[in-house]
Amino acid sequence: MPRRKIETNNTQAALCVRIRALREARGLEQKALAERLGVSANTVCNWENGRSRPDLALLPALAEALGADLYELLGAEVPSGKASPAERRLLERCRALNEGHRHAVERLVDSLLEAQAASAAEAARPIRKLIYFERPLAAGIGDPTEFDEAGTPIWLYASPETERAGCVFSVSGESMEPAFKSGDMVLVSRIPDAPALQYGEIGAFIAGNETYIKVYEKDGLHSLNPAYPTLSFDESTPVFLIGRVMGRLDPRRIVPAVEVERRLAAGE
């Protein structure tokens, strides 16, 4: 019995809070609410202070006077398919709009729903960490297997392209236009993970203290922009192949930092 009494008191306390909140939201005084229900203002005061509770038979009228329904008044979950009081109020406000404004609201809702669906779909996609090289590599690196520390992690939404890639480079300059513009990010499939580069294919290279994204040809490294000369190197400047350039990285595939933090915290 003591346990039952505690639960009853908790329920009563929650009800008194909702009665007061709903009354104040409608701008009603206790006396005005009491007059609508045919009770005294002191009775309403006792409900709101938790000293008593309304009779069950009075609850429907109380809910109507407060502009709510029994679900909202009692704090019960609204059954699926039934509009909540807040939803009904929103519908009433929409009905008060003229036709042009209602059309604008419909377009806004459609846009929000599309954005919400896209966001949910992105959040469910797997992500993958690669290494991103934004600046020229440090001097003194002579072996392409030793330069990973020069990059920073970048997280991408998984796709067939990102699954085959090993790192991401930034394009600098105009030598690879029109295919690649300065500032573009490109996916690179690392060697030896990728097959050997063939003549005519685009690769990422280290030569001396510089990195290059160029077309590999028998006589040297070519640019797509004809204004730039072919790069040829002798034995004193060895050239190392980092990997095959797979194409530009769509910036929309980059996972936002806040999403990365959330997933890492969740252990995904």
Q: Which amino acid is at 233?
A: F
Strand partners, 217: 220
What distances in angstroms separate CA 101 from CA 55, 87, 230, one per listed residue? 44, 18, 61
Mean pLDDT of the chain: 80
pTM, two decimals, is 0.52
The CATH fold assigned to 127-257 is Umud Fragment, subunit A (2.10.109)
Most confident of 57-71, 128-142, 216-230, 253-267: 216-230
CB 62 within 8 A of CB 54: yes
| Token representation of residue 54 | 């309304």
pLDDT above 60: residue 141: no
- Domain residue spans of the chain: 2-95, 127-257
Helix or strand (DSSP H, E) at 218 = none
Fold agreement between 2-95 and 127-257: no
Cis bond before residue 178 (omega within 30° of 0): yes
Report helix, strand or coil for 97.
Answer: coil
| pLDDT over 90 (residue 116) | no
Q: What is the mean pLDDT of residues 187-206?
A: 81
Return the pLDDT at 138.
Answer: 39
Give the three-state DSSP class for 206. Answer: strand
Where helices occur in the chain by DSSP H, the ranges are 2-25, 30-37, 41-49, 59-65, 70-74, 85-95, 99-124, 160-164, 257-266
In the chain, the amino acid numbered 258 is V
CB 203 within 8 A of CB 189: no
Pairing, β 202-207 against β 185-190: unpaired
2-95 homologous superfamily:
lambda repressor-like DNA-binding domains (1.10.260.40)
- What is the rounded CA–CA span in Å between residue 42 and residue 238? 94
Vertex 141: Cα angle to 139 and 142 (nearest 5) = 130
pLDDT at 187: 93
